Amino acid sequence: MVFDLLDLRFLGTESLINTYLLDLEAGLTLVDCGPSSTLETLEAQLDDIGLGVHDLRHILLTHIHFDHAGAAGGLVAKNPRIRVHVSELGAPHLVEPERLERSARRLYGETFDALWGEIVAVPAENIHIADRSVLGLECFPTPGHASHHISFMSEDGILFAGDATGIRLSSTGTILPVTPPPDIDLEIWHRSLDEIERRVPDALALPHFGLVAEPEQHLTAFRQRLMLWAERVRSGIDEGEFVARVRLEIDARDDDVILERTFLLEHSYLGLKRYWSKLVENGSALK
């Protein structure tokens, strides 16, 4: 598969959020187009390789969180021929993003606009519900991080995994889960990871950050840290202690901006706490 990795320079920093530009038979395609706040950077990146938004034909979205899908509406406004492929659960939130935006604004407060930019709706006629095959790529559900999460896999074994397999801090290679509220589900997430491993991908294409050439080791490390975080929250520690412990274990260096500015660790704590609270309410527990 022919593709380019485009660094969107989120928050003016390299190696935090990237998108993938695929040269498919169906036309030029972006996988996870990034937030609206990086739309100008995306246009500049396309211009550097002799392309423009007018050349795009498709956007594939693994899920609808604003760091992955926020620019979709703005791109369609610039080029109404673009088709946006998304899960059935995610599609309504692209057409009417107000509820999702209100929820996110409660989490991010006054930092929302600087982080994610203006949220533009995608017209319903530009939405295409992703089926088992999308533009020649296998598509399958990978919920856990989000109920509407899907992944795409090419014939040559590249898995566009969204946040289903976590993020990688580029300066250290540290692998971190991202577990924000409201719909983290660890049991379902492990089944999604089973489905990924069953396909034996040759590489993982992460939106945070880049291509992973050793998927097996990455997935093992990801599972271990996901469950370590989950058990810590389950034990009853508070948010401050959770964040402090994680900070002691990782050397974020240049990547610290993504932890500080997006509250990644604080929101991950809240998502896991909500998960365990819901299990207690429902009288069940993770096996």
Is it the case that residue 254 has pLDDT exceeding 60?
no
- pLDDT (average), residues 7-20: 96
Hey, what domains does the chain have and what are their CATH numbers? 3-282 (3.60.15.10)
Q: Pairing relation of β-strands 150-153 and 158-160?
A: antiparallel
pLDDT score of 1: 76
Helix (H, G, I), strand (E, B) or coil at 181: coil
Burial of residue 284, with CB atoms counted within 10 A of its CB: 0-12 exposed, 13-18 middle, 19 or more buried? exposed
Residue corresponding to tokens 């604004």: 105
From the list 175, 200, 210, the residue with the least C-alpha distance to 3 is: 210
What value does the mean pLDDT of the chain take?
Answer: 95
pLDDT (tens digit, 9 = 90+) per residue, 176-196? 999 999 999 999 999 999 999
- pLDDT (average), residues 156-165: 98
Q: Are 204 and 215 in contact (CB under 8 A)?
A: yes
- Model confidence, pTM: 0.96
pLDDT score of 62: 98
Is it the case that residue 282 has pLDDT exceeding 90?
no
From the list 46, 55, 60, the residue with the least C-alpha distance to 8 is: 46
Grade residue 287 by pLDDT with cuts at 50, 70 and 90. very low
